[in-house]
Amino acid sequence: MKVRIGVNGFGTIGKRVADAIARQPDMELVGVAKTRPGFEARRAIERGYPLYVSGAGTPEKFAAAGTKVAGRFAELLGQVDVVVDATPEDIGRENKALYEKAGVRAVFQGGEEADVAEASFNALANYDAGRGKRFLRVVSCNTTGIARAAAVLVPRWGVSRWDVTLVRRATDPGESKKGPVDGIVPTLEMPSHHGPDVRTIYPELPIATAAVVVPTTLMHVHVNHVRLTRPPADTAELVRAFAATPRFQLFRAGDGVDGTPQVMEFARDRAGVGSRLSGDMPENVLWERGVRLDGADAYFFQAIHQESIVVPENVDAVRAMFDLAKDRDASIALTDRTLGIARS
Asked if the peptide bond before residue 232 counts as cis, ω within 30 degrees of 0, the response is no
Amino acid identity, position 99? Y
From the CB of 248, what's the least distance to a copy of itself, in Å? 16
Whichever of 128 and 175 has its CB closer to a copy of itself, that residue is 175
What whole-number distance in Å separates Cα of residue 257 and Cα of residue 253?
8
Whichever of 18 and 151 has its CB closer to a copy of itself, that residue is 18
Beta strand residue intervals within 182-328, DSSP E? 185-187, 207-214, 220-228, 248-251, 284-294, 297-304
From the CB of 306, what's the least distance to a copy of itself, in Å? 12
Per the DSSP assignment, residues forming a β-bridge with 165 are 210, 223
Whichever of 70 and 285 has its CB closer to a copy of itself, that residue is 285
What whole-number distance in Å separates Cα of residue 98 and Cα of residue 93?
10
Asked if the peptide bond before residue 191 counts as cis, ω within 30 degrees of 0, the response is yes
229 neighbors 182 (Cβ within 8 angstroms): no
Whichever of 78 and 186 has its CB closer to a copy of itself, that residue is 186
From the CB of 15, what's the least distance to a copy of itself, in Å? 7
Q: Give residues with Cβ within 8 angstroms of 297, minimum separation 6.
A: 225, 226, 227, 228
The Cβ of residue 272 has, within 10 Å, a number of other Cβ atoms equal to 12
Q: What is the DSSP letter of 45?
A: H
Whichever of 20 and 321 has its CB closer to a copy of itself, that residue is 20
From the CB of 80, what's the least distance to a copy of itself, in Å? 23
Whichever of 3 and 29 has its CB closer to a copy of itself, that residue is 29
What whole-number distance in Å separates Cα of residue 80 and Cα of residue 235?
48
What whole-number distance in Å separates Cα of residue 34 and Cα of residue 87?
9
86 neighbors 11 (Cβ within 8 angstroms): yes
63 vs 14, 88, 284, CA distance in Å? 22, 24, 41
| Catalytic residue (one of 104, 136, 141, 211) | 141
Residue among 244, 139, 155 at smallest CA distance from 199? 139
Told to judge if 193 belongs to the known catalytic residues of this protein, a careful annotator would answer no
What whole-number distance in Å separates Cα of residue 244 and Cα of residue 163?
23
Catalytic center residues: 141
